[in-house]
Amino acid sequence: MQPQASFRKRLGITLLMLLGLCATLAITYWYHLEQGFARIQPLANRQLTEVINFIDGALIRYESIPHVLSTNPMLASALAHSDNSDEIRHINRYFEEIQHVTEASDIYLLNNQGEAIAASNWQKPYSFIGQNYAFRPYYTEAIAGRLGSYYAVGTSSDTRGFYFSYPIVEKGKVLGIIVVKVDIADIEEQLTGLAKAGQYELAISGNDQVIFLASMASWRLKSLMPLTSAAQDAIYQSRRYANRIITALSIKPPYNSLNDAERSLYHISHDDGHEQFLDTKGSMSKAGWDVHVLTPVKPLYTSLPLTMLLSASVYMLLALGLSFSLERRKNMRRMQQAHNLLELRVKERTQELESANTKLQETQEELIQAAKLTVIGSLSASINHEINQPLAALRSYAQNTQTLLQRDMQDKAKENLSTIISLSDRLAEIVAQFKSFTRKSEGQDKANSLNDTLGEALTIVNPEIEKQRISLHLELPDQPVRFFGDKVRLQQVLVNIISNAVVAMQQVDTRLLTISVTLSDKLQIQIRDSGPGVNESQMEKIFEPYFTTSQRQGLGLGLSISRRIIESMNGTITVTNAAEGGAEFVILLPLCPGE
């Protein structure tokens, strides 16, 4: 691949991996928060129910007290004789006692003008006695003959409280009102403990969106959203929060600006800065309150980096593993291709080698043939003589037979004809030997008679042996000997060695050629001449191709080809110089199987 293309591919893969990483991080972020909210929402719902039940339980204890007290005739009497200080004192003490027992904050009696004429706090500096509460809705409700309930900051006590009121009726006429005030601070303290234990914050707001009760001190008597000046005015006029000007809490996004599908998540400022909360809201319709359980979401974000790191690591591991296995598969495919190519090359090369080998074999065959013909060439003079002699004899016998037939000497002529026949047989035999020697090998190994092969080789070299007046000494075992191999080839080896010996002995007067065959664990053919022997420095060289000292047309191939032939028959051929002079060639061949 081009380096630029490879770079582009790598860049593409890296970008893809980065894209995958970003997607993994985004999914992890989303999934982690979804899971977190799915975990905290049901808990927040449970906490909300718990809070509502707690407040309900707390208020219900006080709700019936004014009704019960209103039935006391003492109150109607006191209202009828409000100038009777004894009676009022008596009521005050009575209220004080009831206040102690019920743990209510204050209990007081209003006349039908809304003025407090008796109160449990008659001795306190902020005593309600003499104050007019006709502006309070609990007065309006009760004077109309109904149970009144209201929450507000006391104008005298400046404490937040919940008020229950009931009319005191005599003969169908409302004489006055009995009011029980419950201090919110106690309930708030208990609720704050509950919230801290549940690790959430709590706020209770009214219809005017002002927080009346909260676990966080800085949230108390603050509005959830900025109030319009009309709303501010109305609140001020009602004196629900005494003379306070209500300011808004800092909430982002603005409270109630989220649509229903969105999760109610708000950043709300508090004592230590601001924090994000999940707002779970429930309403207490009787009291006209909204209860908010505000769960901090910070813990969800605290564990987020670790989760993202973990998922990024898993992603990277998987991505790297995938790319590694893809790369590995690609490499394996490449290796397989290289392997196939190599196999193809090896196949081609083997074919080339095979055809080169065939050619080499053919060339070798031709070389062997050439060497053979060289020997024949060197022997040609004596072969000529060998053939010419019987030919000349044949001719003279034939002429002689003609004369005998003219003289009608039938018997003598018949004798001559028999001689002619045997002479021509001899000629045919000689020619057959040469024909057999010069033909190419059949290339088939089999068991052959060594006696016959040696005899045929001698037939070829015999004319030269005789011409050179060499005495031939043959030492053969009594029984016929066989060898395993190609007959023509061994014949060629023997002709080579014997004709070399004949050449060598031309330089000496005593010419003796000894050929001995012995059998032991191997078949041994020993050919010894009485020539000058082989120069010691050339003992191994004479087996190398083209080494020759011959003056005739020797190619220097005879012995190298002979060694190759013998080695192909699993045998050896060596030369030494005999102690009495002359070269001694020893051929060792394996015994013919079965011998």
Q: Are 320 and 327 in contact (CB under 8 A)?
A: no
Residue closer to ligand ADP (CB basis): 13 or 367: 367
Torsion angle (degrees, nearest 10) of CA 390, 395, 399, 400: -10
Q: Are strands 160-170 and 446-449 parallel, antiparallel or unpaired?
A: unpaired
Phi, psi of 508 (to 5 degrees): -120, 165
CB of residue 369 to ligand ADP, shortest distance in Å: 15
Chain centroid to CA 405: 110
CB of residue 563 to ligand ADP, shortest distance in Å: 9
Residue closer to ligand ADP (CB basis): 226 or 533: 533
Residue closer to ligand ADP (CB basis): 154 or 531: 531
CB of residue 432 to ligand ADP, shortest distance in Å: 25
User: Which pair of structure tokens corresponds to residue 443?
Assistant: 């290339």
Q: Are strands 512-519 and 471-475 parallel, antiparallel or unpaired?
A: parallel
CB of residue 396 to ligand ADP, shortest distance in Å: 37
User: Which pair of structure tokens corresponds to residue 100?
Assistant: 């102690």
Q: Are 206 and 289 in contact (CB under 8 A)?
A: yes
CB of residue 586 to ligand ADP, shortest distance in Å: 12
Residue closer to ligand ADP (CB basis): 211 or 542: 542
CA distance 71 to 115: 20
CB of residue 455 to ligand ADP, shortest distance in Å: 21
Specify the long-range contacts of residues 130-137, CB closer than 8 Å, at least 24 apart: 131/155, 131/156, 133/179, 134/110, 135/238, 135/239, 136/163, 137/238
CB of residue 537 to ligand ADP, shortest distance in Å: 12
CA distance 280 to 395: 146
User: Which pair of structure tokens corresponds to residue 199?
Assistant: 């690790």
Residue closer to ligand ADP (CB basis): 182 or 465: 465
CB of residue 481 to ligand ADP, shortest distance in Å: 23
Residue closer to ligand ADP (CB basis): 235 or 503: 503
Residue closer to ligand ADP (CB basis): 404 or 504: 504
CA distance 219 to 559: 122
| Location of structure tokens 């009575």 | 94
CA distance 580 to 277: 125
Residue closer to ligand ADP (CB basis): 296 or 533: 533
Per-residue CA distances from 399 to 388, 393, 394, 402, 412 (Å): 16, 10, 9, 5, 13
- Closest-approach residue to ligand ADP (CB): 554
Q: Are strands 522-528 and 211-214 parallel, antiparallel or unpaired?
A: unpaired
CB of residue 533 to ligand ADP, shortest distance in Å: 6
Per-residue CA distances from 336 to 118, 282, 329, 342, 343 (Å): 107, 71, 10, 10, 10
Cis peptide before 125 (omega within 30 of 0): no
CB of residue 555 to ligand ADP, shortest distance in Å: 5
Residue closer to ligand ADP (CB basis): 121 or 496: 496
Residue closer to ligand ADP (CB basis): 222 or 564: 564
User: Which pair of structure tokens corresponds to residue 15?
Assistant: 């970008």
CA distance 388 to 431: 12
Quote the Cα angle for 542-458-556, to 5°. 20
Binding site for ligand ADP (CB under 6 A): 496, 500-501, 504, 529, 531, 533-534, 542, 547-550, 554-559, 583
Residue closer to ligand ADP (CB basis): 462 or 496: 496
CB of residue 384 to ligand ADP, shortest distance in Å: 20
CA distance 467 to 506: 11
CB of residue 421 to ligand ADP, shortest distance in Å: 38
User: Which pair of structure tokens corresponds to residue 432?
Assistant: 């057959």
Q: Are 493 and 520 in contact (CB under 8 A)?
A: no
CB of residue 548 to ligand ADP, shortest distance in Å: 3
CA distance 90 to 430: 176
Residue closer to ligand ADP (CB basis): 410 or 538: 538
CB of residue 507 to ligand ADP, shortest distance in Å: 9
CA distance 341 to 37: 62
Residue closer to ligand ADP (CB basis): 113 or 535: 535
Per-residue CA distances from 527 to 211, 338, 464 (Å): 135, 58, 16
Residue closer to ligand ADP (CB basis): 262 or 536: 536
